[in-house]
Each structure stands twice: as structure tokens, then as C-alpha cells.
Chains A and B, each alone.
Chain A
Amino acid sequence: MEKIEILEGRQRQVFEKQEGQGALDMACETTSLSGSVSQRACVFCGSRVVLYPVADALHIVHGPIGCAAYTWDIRGAVSSGPELHRMSFSTDLKEMDVIYGGEKKLYKSLIELIDQYQPKAAFIYSTCIIGLIGDDIDAVCKKVAQEKGIPVLPVHSEGFKGTKKDGYKAACDALMKVVGTGSTEGIGKYSINILGEFNLAGEAWIIKRYYEEMGIEVVATMTGDGRVDDIRRSHGASLNIVQCSGSMVKLAKEMESKYGIPYLRVSYFGIEDMSKALYDVAKHFSDRPEIMDAAKALVKREVSSLYPELQKFRKELEGKKAAIYVGGAFKAFSLIKALGSVGMSVVLAGSQTGNKDDYEGLREMCDEGTVIVDDSNPVELSKFVLEKEADLLIGGVKERPIAYKLGIGFCDHNHERKIPLAGFEGMYNFIKEVYNSVMSPVWQFAPRKGGLS
């Protein structure tokens, strides 16, 4: 096969696991090189995806129209009630606003919208040019909050001010201002908040159901099917459960230092991690052994119905190879284990936003010869998929057509999943989706792995 160059300056973001290799010196958590065809997004994107599922809040994008247009209802974060979050609101800044500032426009927009929709809170996202044109959105937010009596929260998400992870941080900062503003009356001891779960395809509901079955009270999910009033009182919970690599660990840490709420990091993907997520919480509440008993019963029930089903898939999926390129590295860990449970190996594991520890963790989990990448691009992805003879690519919207062009199966484990992939039932859905794609008869017509040109 033709040799594909790795972009100069990217050598330290691409490794192949080899025998006797020490810890990886991954140069991650940096901005992408100028001129790369990166699959990454920006600070604004990070903030927007984290806060978007708060369904009874107003989300106004302050800037020219594009940022609002591209994030209009793109994420299947399901709400059981209000759906204000699925509307697209923008100050739609024009040339004159760039010259004279957009504060007045923002103020008017906020007043118009709050009068019209009576939201429980408002998030104001600043886009790239807001800082440059000198808008003081903090002052506008403060003024409107006083006039209208609801939290009006600036989200400092100028696109160029870091990576998507910095957007998560800005979102957590905004949420932290809401936390602690409500009454904690009536919240019991055996209570948790679910953090970093966005209720894509209703996944938060599955997780919440599991915990409730164990006798645990869920105070707030942040932010899936999110409600402002729940977030206000979330400091009354005894424990925070944090999913998803980076997005909400910051909030958990701040809630720990300010309110003394400990947190656990979990994943809900795959049998192993899902079970652990339940057991870890039960262990935390060890003074009430019924919780652990309920967790064990739940896991036993779910696994005994799931396991035989997975064995059927395993017969044909055993030995197939997968390439994984996802947003957060923590998800990659779960996916590797989940695929392993049906006998599939992982030949490429990469993420957009992993840190050194994440990549070291990936290295330890993977077989020799597995490629580990940070902030990859289509050339690299195609190269490794072909070289390593992957049968499946797991990724997001921009990776899907690449997989299909290469003639291999695909599974969206990002915004565009249509069915829940979390929990035990999600594990069944996930493996079924993998099976359907990898084993589709359509590949017999595809001149598979025809090489890169």
C-alpha cells in the first residue's frame, strides 16, 4: 500500500502499541495544527452540546447567524416536557453591530424572548467575535436577570479560545451559577445527581430507572432532559455520578469543594461498565445493604436475558476488527470492553479530546499493534482502517461516509444515534447495530478496501 505521510508535527499524536514500549508521550490537549483537516470542533460547540438539553431554558447564540444555524436541533437530546431547547435563537449580528457593538441587540432579544416564552433561565453563548467587538455580555446578563427575575447566564464560549474541552468548562461555569440557588428540602440521604448524561435517544431515562429501582433518588440529570429547578437544588444530593470523559468532571469537582458532594466517574456502555456504575453507587451507600442487593438483582436479571442474545451475535462477530474514533477517550474504554464481549478486537482507538492519562489507559487496554491517535483526520483514519483491515468504524457524522466509501460497516456513537446505546438494553442495541452493519449483504457489492488514492 501507498505510504501516507503523517502531517509533520503530528508524529507525537499517533502511536502504535508495541512490545516493551514505555508510557506514551502523547502530545494531546493542544489546538490542531493550522492546515489540518481536523475532525474537531470549537469551544462554542463544547458549551452548546453540554447545555443544549436543558429543555426549559432559553438558549441564545450571540453572534452572526451561522453558529445558531448549525446547532439548531442537531442533537437527539430528548425531553419529557418542554422543548424550548429545540428552537434556534440568534442575535444574528450584522456589519453595523460589529462596528458599534451588539449589546443593545442582545438586550432587546433577551427581553423579547423572556416575555414571549417565560423560560426558567437563559444561557447566552458568546461566539468568536463577541470578545473582539467589546460586548460586555456579563453586564447585559446581570441587567436582564435583575429586570426579569430569572438566572441569565453568560457562557464564555468564543470559538478560538481553546478546544472543545474549554467549552465544557465554560458550560460548567454557567451551570455552577445555577446550582445551589434552590431549596434542598425533602431530598433524602440516598440521593444522586447524574452528570454528563445527555439523554440522547432517551438514555438518561434508562439510567435513572436503574438507580430508582435500587432505591436511589435522582435529584437532577445534567443535562439530559434537564430542568432548571432540578439543577438549582442539585446541591442537596449526596453523590454525583459523572459520565463522559471531560465534559462535567469540572462541575463535579466544584460541587465537591463547595458543597462537599463526592463524585464517582462511570460509564454506562457495555455490560461490565454499566454493572460497575450501579455497584459503585451501591458501595457508596453501604450503610444500606438493600441498595447493593437491589443492584445485584437488577444486574443478574438484565445480564441473564442479555447474555444469550449476545452469544448469538458473537458467533459471527468473533474475530472482526473495529476502529474507534470518538469525542471523549473515556467512551473509547467502554467501547473496547463492549466489543470484546462479542469477540471483536480494536485496531485503532482515538479521540478528539483525550488527555495523557486517557491515552495511557487506552494503551494498557489494547492489543499490540493497535494504533492510538489524538485529534485525527480523514487521511490518517482511512490509512489505518485499510492497513489494519478494520471491519467497522465507530465515530460521528463526518466519519460515517468515510467508512462507507471504504466499504466497511459503521456505527454512530455520537449525536446521531437513533436508538439508546447506554444501559443493558443499550448494549443489546449497540451490538445489534454493529452486527447489522458489519454483516450486511451490501458489502459483497462494494469493492472493499480498494486502497487509498
Chain B
Amino acid sequence: MLLRHTKDEVMEREALTINPAKTCQPIGAMYAALGIHGCLPHSHGSQGCCSYHRSTLTRHYKEPVMAATSSFTEGASVFGGQANLVTAIDNIFTVYEPDIIAVHSTCLSETIGDDLQQIATKAKDDGKVPEGKYVIYAPTPSFVGSHVTGYGNMVQAMAEQFAVSTGETLDQVNIAAGWMEPSDMREIKRIAKEMEVTVRMFPDTSDVLDAPQTGKHVFYPKGGITIPELKSTGDSKFTVALGCFSGEPGGVALEKKCKVPFQTEDLPIGLRATDRFLMTLSKAAGVKIPQSITDERGRLLDVMTDMEQYFSGKKVALFGDPDHLIPLTEFLVDLNMKPVHIVSGTPGKRFEQRMKAILEDTVPEANVKNGPQADMFLLHQWIKNEPVDLLIGNTYGKYIARDEDIPFVRFGFPIVDRIGHSYFPSVGYMGGLRLVEKILGVLMDRQDRDAPEESFELVM
């Protein structure tokens, strides 16, 4: 047993994180930046940061992930990284020819005190940014928040640094997209199209990180929101921000800069969160929800009712990112399941508040923790004390699932040992159907595996 060192007695820890349920800000910023068309993310720090982020994203998506680095050296750490970044910007526009460079900082450049805004301005003043090209920047110190925070910071930077208000109001709605898979972003666009709503979604990683095999290695795949589209978000009539941690910063920034009103909704995971998203979108756009979408809802609900007996009372442990866990927990509760252990490494009071609201009447005994020391080690100890029927989370859950022999559904970031997440959505009613199918699949496989021969059933 790989985690045989984990004892069931919950260890009080003051300082230490064991087996984290999070990673650092810059990778979130890099992922978000890939959702702009023609954008090369740039890591302002040591070479290793960029390499680790690219490797992790590559393992998750099985796609080439392009990003550049300032390649800090000892000199840069003493004299500041300005020269490195200005040189980098010059080199990148000359050789890799992106439309945009999206710079994010690292713990190193933040500790040195590099000011990205000032450096970006200097690069422009020095003529290193060609006409019609852009450099945007987001501070992403690794010692604050988590990868989710970094994603939110880059979403905010996109709105702040691109959106323009021309005074005209366009018949379009912005979607400030929280951290989702390319498949989820594609699904949201499909739903909007079905509703005949023009949406401007940022970022949009569909057709970037799920690119087809063409015999070419395309540095800038065809997907991603374009610069004119991003600029026009300032003239949209409304913004629906998805996810209070990762999407909301985009909505806030647009309201502040261009007076576009916004509303934050959960990521549309599960029945009720999808209901709320669709209501908000239809209201914002002034359209009705079409019958085709209502039918999708009906199909999801039909499966939820048909299979109700299999979910009932099942205990679940889940871990991951707050914007995923909030609607997922709600969905599990609606399925009459019992989410008893919930862990997120990302700090933030709103997570605690939302979880409390969802669970206080239904699963008041649930263990919920986020922020420092909310890690996989703690989750494992909780599970040892109160076993569960199902574990939901990213690939790192597989150690616990194996040691404790728990059915496991992979969900979240990163998933480095399975495919599917980038192609099949988890959002919307159809995404809800996929989640239900996956959960049922592992629960029923377990029942089949463990059933004594006489009660091994053909029909379930």
C-alpha cells in the first residue's frame, strides 16, 4: 500500500502540507492564456516553472503546450528581471510571431519585486511590441492562493486590458468562463447557439487543447477568443461570470472598466446549477429557453429518477477546486448522496459559506476544509475514520482509491492517467448525464465485483 504511512489518527499540523490538493498560481494563468487565439503564454521566472506547467498541461491534455520563459539567471535575481522580460518580448515577437504575449509572474519575480505593468510599458516604449500586437500581464505570486487564483487573475487581466467601451451596446452576452475543460467551453457555446444567443466567452480553450490531428504542429491552433471579440466585451449588454473563484474576476473587471453589468453563477455542473445558468443567460439575452434544451433537462432528470435507488445514501469523499466542488456537491445532494468529506487546497471564505448552505440541512456532519493543510493526507485520514462508497477528484485520488479500495470517478485537474475530460463535457444537462453515467458505472462495477454468486444480478 503506497500510502501505508498514513495513520487514521488525524495529525495536527502547523506548518506542513502533505500530498497537496492544489498547485501554484502560474499554471492557472498559463492555461487561461491559451484560451486567447494566437496567444503565447509567458512565464516570467526560472526555466523550471514554465517546463513544469507545460509538462502538467501536456499530461492532462495529451497536446503540445507552447509557452515561453524569461529564463531567470542569478543576475536577473539580483538586478531585477526587466532586461530578461524586454529581451524575451522582443525575441518572441520576432521568432514565434504570436498576436499576444500573456505574461504571468512567479514567486521569484514577485519576490524580487518586478513590476509587470511597468516592464510591459517599457517594452512598448522601446518599440519591442510590433503594431497590432499586444502584451498583457497578470501578477501570479505562487505564495498566494492556488492555481485557481492564477486562472482568475489572468481572466481579470484579459477583461481589464482588452475590453473597450465604445458607447454602443451590442446584442451579445459575455461569459467570463471559470476553469473548465475545452469540452465544457464547447458545450457552453453549443447551448448558447441552441438558444440563439451571441456569446463572447473568455477564455475559450476549445479548438486549442483538443486540436485534431492534421499532420502539422500548429503553434497557434484555430480556437481561442480573438482580439476583436475580446475588445468587444466592453460593449456587451451583460456578463455571466461562471465560478466565484475563477470566473468572477472577469465579470468584476468588465463592470468596473466598461460598466457592463454582471452576475456570477456556479459552473453549470448538475441539474440545479445548469438551471440557474440558463435562467440567467436567457434573462440577460432576452430569449426563451428552447424546447431542445428543456428536453435535455428532461433526459437528465429521467435518469436521475430511474436510477435514484442506486445513489440513495451513498457516502462520497471529494476533493479539488472550489468552483467545481460547490455545484458538484449540490448535485450529489440532489441525487440523495451523502458528501461526507470535502477538501480543497484553495483558500477562500466563500467556499465555506456555500458548502455550509448546501450541507447544513442535508449532511450536517460533513467534514469540509479548504486552504492551508486541506490536503490529500487529511482527506485520507478522514476516510480512514469514516469510510466512503465513492471518491471523486483528480488523478491524485488514485492512491487513496487503491489503498482503501474505493470506487473512483476522475473529475477536475489534473487528470493524467485517463482521457475523455477534454472531449466529453461535464457541464450542462448533457454533462450532468455524463457525470451520472460515470458515477453509476463505478458503483455498479463494484456491486458486480463484490456480489456473492447467488446475488450476482443480470438486470440492474
A positions within 8 Å CB-CB of B: 5, 7-9, 31-45, 63-72, 83-84, 86-95, 97-98, 104-106, 108-109, 112-113, 116-117, 127-129, 131-133, 159-163, 378-379, 382, 397-398, 400-402, 404-407, 446-453
Contacts and interface: CB of A to CB of B under 8 A. Distances in A.
B15 A109 contact: yes
Nearest to B106: A128
Contact of B108 (A94, A106, A108, A128): A128
B357 interface: no
Contacts of A112: 11, 13-16
Contacts of A8: 91, 94-95
A405 B214 contact: yes
B58 interface: yes
Contacts of B70: 34-35
B349 interface: no
B118 to A, nearest CB: 17
Nearest to B3: A87
A453 to B, nearest CB: 5
A199 B66 CA distance: 31
Contacts of A63: 107, 142
Contact of A132 (B53, B108, B396): B108
Given A88-B19, A93-B143, A406-B217, 16 more contacts: A8-B94, A8-B95, A31-B71, A34-B88, A38-B71, A43-B46, A66-B49, A72-B19, A92-B16, A104-B15, A108-B16, A116-B7, A131-B77, A160-B45, A160-B77, A447-B215
B17 to A, nearest CB: 4
Which of A37, A72, A106, A398 has the most CB atoms of chain B within a 10 A radius of its CB? A37
Contacts of B76: 160
A94 B112 contact: no
A70 B52 contact: yes
B424 interface: no
Given A43-B48, A159-B46, A404 B213 contact: yes
Nearest to A157: B48
A38 B107 CA distance: 20
A82 B110 CA distance: 38
16 contacts: A7-B95, A8-B95, A66-B25, A83-B4, A84-B5, A88-B19, A88-B20, A92-B16, A94-B372, A112-B16, A113-B16, A378-B66, A405-B64, A406-B217, A447-B214, A452-B217
A399 to B, nearest CB: 9
Contacts of A37: 40, 66-69, 96
Interface residues of B, number: 83
Given A41-B52, A83-B2, A94-B144, A401 B58 contact: yes
A160 B70 CA distance: 10
Contact of B111 (A7, A35, A108, A132): A132
B74 A116 contact: no
Interface string B431-449: 0000000000000000000
Nearest to B53: A70
A49 to B, nearest CB: 11
B23 interface: yes
B374 to A, nearest CB: 11
A91 B107 CA distance: 14
Given A64-B142, A89-B17, A128-B46, A33 B23 contact: no
A448 B217 CA distance: 11
B51 A41 contact: yes
Interface string B70-81: 111110110000
Given A35-B91, A132-B77, A98 B111 contact: yes
Which of B56, B77, B92 has the most CB atoms of chain A within a 10 A radius of its CB? B77
B175 to A, nearest CB: 28
B148 interface: no
Which of B40, B47, B71 has the most CB atoms of chain A within a 10 A radius of its CB? B47
A83 B65 CA distance: 32
B336 interface: no
B104 to A, nearest CB: 12
Contacts of B38: none
Interface string B155-189: 00000000000000000000000000000000000
Given A68-B17, A70-B56, A379-B96, A38 B74 contact: no
A66 B217 contact: no
Contact of A405 (B42, B69, B89, B213): B213
B2 A69 contact: no
Contacts of B2: 83, 86
A45 B64 contact: no
Contact of A117 (B5, B27, B49, B219): B5
A90 B71 CA distance: 24
B363 interface: no
B18 A42 contact: no
B345 to A, nearest CB: 8
Closest 7 CB pairs between A and B? A42-B48, A450-B215, A66-B24, A35-B88, A35-B91, A159-B46, A447-B215
Contacts of A72: 19-20, 396
B142 A35 contact: no
B20 A407 contact: no
Contacts of B339: none
A405 B217 contact: yes
Contacts of A71: 52
A328 to B, nearest CB: 16
A129 B108 contact: yes
B172 to A, nearest CB: 30
Given A40-B51, A72-B396, A401-B63, A34 B215 contact: no
A402 B217 contact: yes
Nearest to A98: B143
Contacts of B4: 83
A245 B365 CA distance: 56
B324 interface: no
B146 interface: yes
Contacts of B214: 405, 447, 450
Interface string B121-159: 000000000000000000001111010000000000000
Contacts of A35: 42, 68-70, 87-92, 95
Contact of B22 (A65, A117, A132, A451): A65
A406 B59 CA distance: 18
B303 interface: no
B66 A70 contact: no
B142 A41 contact: no
Contact of B64 (A106, A162, A378, A407): A378
